[in-house]
Structure 1
Amino acid sequence: MQQLLLDVFTPPRPSLVNFIVGQNAPVVHELQALVRGASASPFILLYGSAGCGKTHLLKSMASLLGAPVLAGQTRFVFKPGDQALIIDNLEALTPYSQVQLFNAFNSALADRLPPAIVLASEHHPAELPVRDDLRTRIQAGLCLRVHPLSDDEKHHALQSVAKSRGLELSPEVVDYALRYFQRDMGSLMAVIDSLDRFSLEQHKPVSVNLLRHWMKRRESLVVREQ
């Protein structure tokens, strides 16, 4: 049941500003440069393990570049007039979509349209399960690894964000959240947002006992909604 609790949260809208950087300062720098038109390449591949923040970064770029995030398994047709092409789960591209992406690269090289192509995959660039000519195009751009946050970095990030809101989080509360909730930062931030509101409602400081009380209330809401 605890796994269902996060279904009722509304995490903050992803942006480069609220992305928890950790070891990924070079990645954020290159994405910001791409938005300004100052990147070393208009083609960027983000790769790394699940939950490390790739989708957050893609959604941030989608807002900045005015283009949707396409799922790798979704069939798409390349249109030369598109302002940007943003694709998540690159490893799931169908053969047809691989051809479309290859055409997009060729168009960008010849006509500078689209001016930006941003992709994400769990696979290292050399191990992408795509056709060879497409892999060559991708590897010619910037291939940036996105590093997951360590537990210490998550501790620090959660406590820093909470402190900026006037909310005190003890190490025990953060440990409890890391133990019982999804460990990606978007989900953890949603937990902190809701816990902050619950603390104000109850007129009690945040503690492990308050967190347990809040979890029981959310669980009962999910049960009733089912």
Structure 2
Amino acid sequence: MQQLLLDVFTPPRPTLSNFLVGQNGQLVHELQLMLNKQGTSPFMFIYGPKGCGKSHLLRGVATQLGVTVTAGSNRFVFKQGEQALVIDNIDLLTPYSQVQLFNAFNSSLAENKPGKIILASEFPTPDLKLRDDLRTRIEAGLCLRVQPLSDQEKHEALQAVARSRGLQLSEEVIEYALRYFQRDMGSLMAVMDGLDRFSLEQQKPVSVHLLRHWMKRRESLVIREYETRTV
């Protein structure tokens, strides 16, 4: 149940503007250029380990393009006339879906539709188990690694967010959050949102004691919801 508690925090809606850049300034800049039709290529592939922010970037880009993110594990069928494609976990594409994506690349090159193809995976292109001709298409565009935030960068980001909200966070509170909650920044930002609201409700400054109190309340809510669903 404790793990369930730590997984229930809902991150804020992902956008490029609320992505914590860290060492990814060039990557975010290239995405913005692509969205503004100023990029050097209509194709981009981003990769990096779990929790580094790939899904955040894809969802932010998809929202601006007015499309949805396609999961690589789902059956993908390319439809002529699509304006943009955003696909996550392309390493999970089936042979059929790989052919469909290859067709999308060819359509883009011939007819400029889709005008943008943005893909992501945990793995760099040499490690992707894809058709050679599809891998060649992907590598013809921009291929950029998403660099995870270091603990120091996460620490600084939490302090910056806290200051923007008028909150005072002690080193103890930050260390506690980094130790006991999911360490991706989306989840940590969701923790900050909830803790901010709880601090205002209780009219108390943020402290480890308040954080633990809030966690207990969240745990009781999660337990009640879980019991309601299983009755």
TMscore range, shorter length: over 0.9
The superposition leaves residues 77-123 of structure 1 with CA deviations (integer Å, 9 ceiling, x where unpaired) of 11121110000011100111000000000011111110000000001
Structure 1 letter corresponding to 2:165: R
Map of 1:155 onto structure 2: 155
Tell me how large the CA RMSD over aligned residues is.
1.0
Partner of 2:197: 197
Partner of 1:179: 179
**Which moved further from structure 2: 76-85 or 45-54?**
76-85
| AA partner of residue 70 (structure 1) | T
Structure 2 residue 138 is matched with structure 1 residue 126: no
What is the CA–CA distance in structure 2 between the aligned matches of 1:134 and 1:8, rounded to whole Å?
A: 37
SS at match of 2:143: strand
Query: Partner residue of 2:229?
Result: none
Matched, 1:221 2:206: no
User: Are the counterparts in 2 of residues 66 and 83 from structure 1 also a CA contact under 8 Å?
Assistant: no
User: What do residues 42-70 of structure 1 show as CA deviations (whole Å, max 9, x unaligned)?
Assistant: 00001000100000000001011111100
Query: Do the aligned partners of 2:19 and 2:57 also contact (CA within 8 Å) in 1?
Result: yes
Match of 1:100 in 2: 100
Q: For residues 117 and 81 of structure 1, what CA distance do their matches in structure 2 show?
A: 13
Aligned residues between the structures: 226
Match of 1:56 in 2: 56
3-state DSSP of counterpart to 2:70 = strand
- 1:145 — aligned with what? 145
Quick check: 1:2–1:180 contact (8 Å CA) kept in 2? no
What runs of 5+ residues in structure 1 fail to find an aligned partner? Answer: none
Contact 1:51-1:148 within 8 A present in 2 as well: yes
What is the distance in 2 between the residues matched to 1:37 and 1:184?
30
Amino acid at match of 1:31: L
**Structure 2 equivalent of residue 85 of structure 1:** 85
Alpha-carbon deviation of 1:4?
Answer: 1.7
